[in-house]
Amino acid sequence: MNERLLLAAKHVNWYTEPEVLVADSERFLCEIMARGTIPDVLAAKEVFDSDQFQRAYDNAPPGLFDKRSWAYWGLVLFSDPCYLPIPERFEDGADFDWRS
């Protein structure tokens, strides 16, 4: 497996074994897009094509992206920062109060 990808996986996700994360390409690409540095993104672009990045973005899990990274990747991948609404953990953007 590509050493640069494993290093990127360690950088963006400390709680999953790098080999396991990279094997789940959609999750890995989402982690790269949400938390990766430029070297992390470049390492991923050496192995994955733009269709794979787009597919990962389309199927992103809720709660992973912040608004800024979501808009950035919408602009980069689809030329539209509002291509899709950001995946939310709770319906209608409702705040969850864990104390209640």
Q: How confident is the model at residue 23 (pLDDT cuts 50, 70, 90)?
A: very high
Structure confidence at residue 88 (pLDDT): 84
CB atoms within 10 A of CB 76: 15
Taking the model in full, what pTM does it have?
A: 0.87
- 33-45 pLDDT per residue, tens: 999 999 999 999 9
Helices (H), 13-66: 18-23, 25-35, 38-47, 50-58
Tokens of residue 6, six digits: 């494993």
| Domain layout of the chain by residue ranges | 3-84
